[in-house]
Copies of this chain bind each other. A is one copy, B any other.
Amino acid sequence: MLQSKLLIPTLRDAPSEADVVSHQLMLRAGLIRPLAAGIYTYLPLGWRVLRKVSSIIREEMDRIGAQEMLMPAMQPAELWQQSGRYSLYGPELVRLYDRHNREFALGPTHEEVITSLIRDEVNSYRKLPMILYQIQTKFRDERRPRYGLLRGREFMMKDAYSFDADWESLDDTYRNVYYAYTRIFDRCGLTYRVVEADAGTIGGEGETHEFMALADIGEDTVAVCSHCSYSANLETAYTRHGASPAEARTVPKPEKIHTPGVRTIDQLTASLDIEAGHILKTLIYMADGRPVAVIVRGDHEVNETKLKNALRANHIELANEEIVRQHTGAPIGFAGPVGLSLPLWIDQEAAIIESGVAGANEPNYHLRYVVPGRDFPLEHIGDYRNVTEGDSCPHCEGTFKFYRGIEVGHVFKLGTKYSAALGAGFLNAAGRENPVIMGCYGIGVSRILSAVIEQNHDDGGILWPMAIAPFHVHLIPVSVQDPVQRGLAEKLYYRLQAEGMEVLMDDREERPGVKFKDSDLIGIPIRIVVGKQAGEGLVEIKERGQAAAEVIGYEDVVTHVLGRMKS
A44 engages B67 (CB within 8 Å) = yes
Residue of B35, B48, B70, B94 near A72 (CB, 8 A) is: B35
Closest to A509 in B: B126
Check A35–B75 contact: CB distance below 8 A.
yes
Asked whether B98 lies within 8 Å of A5 as measured between CB atoms, the reply is: no
Chain A interface size, as a band, is 35 or more
A341 nearest CB across to chain B (Å): 37
The answer to whether B72 and A121 have CB atoms under 8 Å apart is no
Cβ contact within 8 Å between B35 and A67: no
The reply to whether A4 and B132 form a contact with Cβ atoms under 8 Å apart is no
How distant is the Cα of A73 from the Cα of B143 in the complex, in angstroms? Answer: 19
Q: Which residue of B lies closest to A94 (CB)?
A: B96
A369: interface (CB < 8 Å): no
Task: State whether A113 touches B6 (Cβ < 8 A).
Answer: no
Instruction: Say yes or no: is A86 at the interface (Cβ < 8 Å to chain B).
Output: no
Whether B99 and A70, one on each chain, are in contact in the complex, defined by CB atoms closer than 8 angstroms, is: no
B72-A43 in contact (CB<8A): no
What DSSP secondary structure best describes chain A's contact surface? mixed
A143 to B98 CA separation, bound complex (whole angstroms): 10
Provide the bound-state CA to CA distance between A470 and B558, in Å. 37
Asked whether any CB of chain B lies closer than 8 Å to the CB of A130, the reply is yes
The distance in angstroms between the C-alpha atoms of A99 and B145, with both chains bound, is: 12
- A16 and B44 CA atoms in complex are apart in Å by 44
Q: Across the interface, do B96 and A68 meet the contact criterion of CB distance under 8 Å?
A: no
A50 is an interface residue with CB less than 8 A from chain B: yes
Please measure, in the bound complex, the distance between the C-alpha atom of A513 and the C-alpha atom of B154, giving whole angstroms. Answer: 47
A235 is an interface residue with CB less than 8 A from chain B: no
Residues on the B chain within 8 Å of A75, using CB: 35-36
10 other contacts beyond A5-B65, A96-B106, with CB at 8 A cut-off? A4-B127, A7-B121, A7-B130, A36-B102, A42-B70, A44-B132, A50-B70, A74-B139, A92-B99, A95-B96
Chain A residues at the B interface, C-beta cutoff of 8 Å? 1, 4-7, 9, 33, 35-36, 39-44, 46-48, 50-51, 65, 67-76, 91-92, 94-96, 98-99, 102, 104, 106, 113, 117, 120-122, 126-127, 130, 132, 137, 139, 141, 143, 153-154
A-B contact pairs, 24 of them (CB 8 A): A4-B126, A4-B127, A7-B67, A7-B69, A7-B122, A7-B130, A9-B122, A33-B117, A35-B71, A35-B75, A36-B74, A36-B104, A39-B72, A39-B74, A41-B71, A41-B117, A42-B71, A44-B132, A47-B68, A47-B69, A73-B73, A73-B137, A74-B139, A74-B154
